[in-house]
Every structure is written in C-alpha cells, then in structure tokens.
Amino acid sequence: MIEAHKLRKTFNKGKVVAVDEVSFAARDGQITGLLGPNGAGKTTTLRMLYTLLKPDSGTMTVDGIDPLADPIGVKAKLGVVPDSRGLYDRLTARENIRYYGKLQGLSKNTIESRVNHLSDVLDMAGFIDRKTDGFSQGQRVKVAIARALIHEPGTILLDEPTNGLDVMTTRALREFLLRLKMEGHCVVLSTHIMQEVAALCDRIVIISKGRIAADGTARQLLEKSGEDNLEDAFVKLIGSDEGLLA
C-alpha cells in the first residue's frame, strides 16, 4: 500500500521541476501503472519512494511507514526493479541474487530455498548458474526481478520493466506480475507503453511534465476523455502525443 501526497522534487536549485505535487495511491492486490512520456517524472517519483531521492515537499507512506523518517524500514518492505538492472557480470545469476539476500539479512537456508523457488517461477533454471556476462535483456530482467523479490516484499516497484524485451518474454513477465497481484502484493510499474497498462493495470496514473494528468481505471479514463480507445484518451489527457512511439 503506497500513498503519495503532493510530492514535489526540483533539480538544479529549483530551476528544473521534475515532479510537481504528485499524489496517488496504490493498493494491495492491485497493479498500478504510472503512465507517461519519457521525462515525465515517473522515475523521479519512484526514486523518492525507494528513498534514493528526498522530496522538496509533500508526504508519502509505504505500508504506513514514512520513507523520510525510516528509510531502512521502507527499503525492507519494498522490492525494486530499477531502470538500470546493474548485474555483476563476473558473478552467476544465483550469486547475484544471493548477494542481495545477504544484504537483506536473510539466512543462508532461506536464501537458497527462495532462489530455487524464484528460479522455477521465473523459468531461470537454464541459466541460474551461469555468469551473467552475455545474458540477454530478458534474462537480465528476470535476475533483477528475482533479486528484488528475494526478501518477499509486500510492495513491488518496477521501473520500465518491459524495456528491451521481446514479445514472448514480455508476455511471461505480464503473467508473473498478475500472479503477484493474485498473491495480494501491491505492484506499481512505470511505463510509457500504452498496451502495457491496458493489459495489466487495475489503476492508471497518467503523469505528464511532472504533474498528474489523470488517475483512475481504464474505463474511467475513457469516460473522462470522451474517447473510445486508451491511446487517444492518453493523448488527449496529456495534451500532446510526445513519447508515445514505443
């Protein structure tokens, strides 16, 4: 469960406003999509939630914890797949995941059984013990996801998870996200791809130029814009068609 209230973040001493009074909520058992063109402020919003950036103003909570007051407590609740996957090439996939398990403070046995479980679910058996050097984008994303979920977080943030993935891997990933939703997790993903939110999200938050342009279910967005497909609704709601060519 995430609640963000009037988050604001500027860079270069206030000259660049990246996020301006963004408020939204993401509930457990739902997939919430942050939809917006490139540079809209999606990544900055997520970075504030996972505590790598401090907002200039505004408040937020993750499962009732304020990231500003207890950054470490929040990080323990979150599973994050950032835009940059950043695997260690000289380590195997298993070692990459194991490292994060240790950093989460898990016991050796817990780590091993969860790695095996995640390896099954994400279909990683073929490459789990290979060094990640030379992995495909799809394999990298899977490792990054397994790494983020090793401590079984209640809330999962994914920044552009399907970037660079082929159709089959994208499909597998979507199924996995739906499965997380079924298990009652709160899933938040950012994307600039229309079809993604249409196929996955229970709730869509459209961000444009650092502001919330619209917020609701797919049906509500259609009604609000008066259009009959999401893509036109999106264009109309953000007031331009930039960044739509995915």
Partner 1 sequence: MIAVFIKELLDNFRDRRVVLNTLIIGPLFGPVIFGLMLSFMASETTERMEAALELPVVGAENAPNLVAWLERQGVIIEDAPDDPEAAVRSEEHEVVLRIPEGFGEAWQAGQPAPIEIIADQSLRYTGTTIARVRSYLGTYSAQISQVRLQLRGIHPEITRPIDTQIVDLSTPTSRGGQILAFLPYFILITVFMGSMHMAVDTTAGERERKSLEPLLINPLPRWKIMAGKLMATTFFALATLALGLVAFVYAMGMLPTADMGVSLNLDFKVAGMAFLLVAPAALLAAAMLTILASFAKSFREAQSYMGLIIFVPMIPSFWLLIDPTKAETWMTWVPLLNQNIMILELVRGEPLNTAWIGATLLSTTLAAIALAWVAGGLYNRPKLIFTSD
| Residue closer to partner 1, measured from CB, 84 or 109 | 84
Under rule CB under 8 A, residue 164 binds partner 1? no
Q: How far is the CB of 219 from partner 1 (least distance, A)?
A: 34
Contact assessment for residue 227 and residue 233, using Cβ atoms and an 8 Å cutoff: yes
| Residue closer to partner 1, measured from CB, 148 or 180 | 148
- At 141, list the tokens: 């994303």
Site string for partner 1, 94-133 (x = CB under 8 A): -x---xx-xxxx-------------------------x--
Pick the binder of partner 1 from 18, 87, 124, 158 (CB under 8 A). 87
Under rule CB under 8 A, residue 73 binds partner 1? yes
| Residue closer to partner 1, measured from CB, 35 or 87 | 87
Sequential DSSP letters for 216-240: E-HHHHHHHHT-SSHHHHHHHHHTS
Contact assessment for residue 181 and residue 188, using Cβ atoms and an 8 Å cutoff: no
**Chain residues 131-160 in contact with partner 1, contact rule CB under 8 A:** 131, 144, 147-148
**Chain residues 51-70 in contact with partner 1, contact rule CB under 8 A:** 51-53
Site string for partner 1, 19-58 (x = CB under 8 A): -------------------------------xxxx-----
Q: How far is the CB of 151 from partner 1 (least distance, A)?
A: 8
CB neighbourhood size of 206 (10 A): 22
| Burial of 126 from C-beta contacts in 10 A (0-12 / 13-18 / 19+) | exposed
Query: Which residues on adjacent β-strands are paired with residue 207?
Result: 212
| Residue closer to partner 1, measured from CB, 74 or 186 | 74
CA-based nearest residue to 149, from 126, 183, 125: 183
Q: Which residues bind partner 1 (CB under 8 A)?
A: 50-53, 72-76, 78, 80, 82, 84-91, 95, 99-100, 102-105, 131, 144, 147-148
